[in-house]
Amino acid sequence: MDGVTVWMTIAAIGTKWASPSNPGITTLDPAGDASMISLLTQQVRVQDTLIRQIMKFPQEESRAAALPIAMSARRTEKATRLSTVVRTDREGEPIWTPEFQVAPPVAVLQLVTGRWVAQMVGVAAELGLADEIQTGPKTAEEVAQAKGLHPVPLYRLLRALASVGIFAEQEGGRFRQTPMSDALRSDVPYSMRGLARATNRHWTIRGWMELEHSIRTNVSAFEHVHGMQSFDYASQHPEETEIFADALDGFAALVGAAVVEAYDFSSIRTLVEIGGCLVLASVLAKHPAMRGILFDLPAVVESFSSFLRSHGVEDRIELKGGNFFEALPEGADAYLLQNILHWRSEEDCGRILKAVHAAARPGAKLLVVEAIVETSNEPQFAKTLDIAMLVTTHGGKERTYAEWENLLSATGFRVSRTVPTASFACVIEAVRN
């Protein structure tokens, strides 16, 4: 093989990123450093097994679960033709090709079958498989006996999940925990089990099945199907209420922990968290001199008492019940809204922000924790989350920086800076005029 070999990209084949200075896909030295992995790369990792089955290419075994290895395609006429198509970059087209690239038909296959993987993860969460395997590696037969399941299809499910990084199969057919399956446990603060269960429920799926209705009418598909918003549906179906609450808690924990880590709260003496308690409790635990006010609906706010006691901050937090559309606690140094506004229409956001403005003194900070939609064509979770808002809410949406700036300016706030976090959300810091 000559020294200037072209590493053709057909399925999960490593390439270098195309760039304005080098618009074509370049060759990749096998010893070259990997660039940052994008969200699309995660899609490739998740469904790498499908690529191997369809393209029939050999691949080295990786020690890391679900990480594809760069490989050379066979030098056939078809392979060369497909590789050329992948490497072509036409003027005006988005350059989003990740480090581990796939041929367009395979990439589309991964996207349209992503629902299958989500269903697999949802079933694993529903059955509590991660909790069962947490006590030690087990065979499918052992798990089936403990859970009252059939061992043959259970093995097939565990094997498929292991191929995407959830559990890992060992010699002898035993399955052990992995970092991703660990996040499906029900007894950890970072649990995604509730979210996996909620997205797999029939009432959630039915809403998504009517996405086309939302595209045609700009009306919530969930409301079209169920005649009410998701919050109302969950509250009226007790068997779903706990699952829905766990999903929201998992979402809040993921974002809240990142916010506490990224934003400097040290200059704030009194912080009001509106519609939540996770950030407030964590921040007060780090800053002993700070005091807080937890504001939520009267029926909800008292339920946070035990959580606050577990963090040792109950004596520094005042619980206040009310309606954030009407009036809020006055005179605090800062007000925090985490993932509250994206659920709501422009009109409702305006009402909430005006209530904050009326309660805040001049110069007080407003901390809006939300996603900021980028204007580029690069993959971004916020853009997918925006479609979830279209499906499930009455006018809710994810917003661009310009949209956030306009919304805040119209209600008496000036954006001073944005602070990125390790999650998909940012802290948009604004000051009351």
Are the CB atoms for 200 and 120 separated by under 8 Å? no
Give CA–CA dist 417/431, Å, rounded: 10
Residue 327, both tokens: 């009036």
Return the SS3 of 220: coil
3-state DSSP: the chain helix, strand, coil percent, rounded to 5? 45, 15, 40
**Nearest residue to 272 via CA among 218, 313, 330:** 330
How many whole angstroms from its chain centre is CA 391? Answer: 16
Question: What span, in angstroms and rounded, lies between the C-alpha atoms of 367 and 170?
Answer: 47
Which entry of 226, 287, 342, 357 is annotated as an active-site residue?
342
> Can you give the three-state secondary structure of 336-394, one letter per residue?
EEECCHHHCCHHHHHHHHHHHHHHCCCCCEEEEEECEECCCCCCCHHHHHHHHHHHHCC
Q: Collect all residues with Cβ–Cβ distance below 8 Å to 162 and sequence separation of at least 6.
A: 65, 168, 169, 175
Rounded Cα distance, 144 and 155, in Å: 9
> What are the structure tokens assigned to 151, written together?
């061992």
Which pair of structure tokens corresponds to residue 368?
């809006």
User: Cα separation of 312 and 66, whole Å?
Assistant: 40
- Does residue 202 have an active-site annotation? no
Active-site residue numbers?
Answer: 342
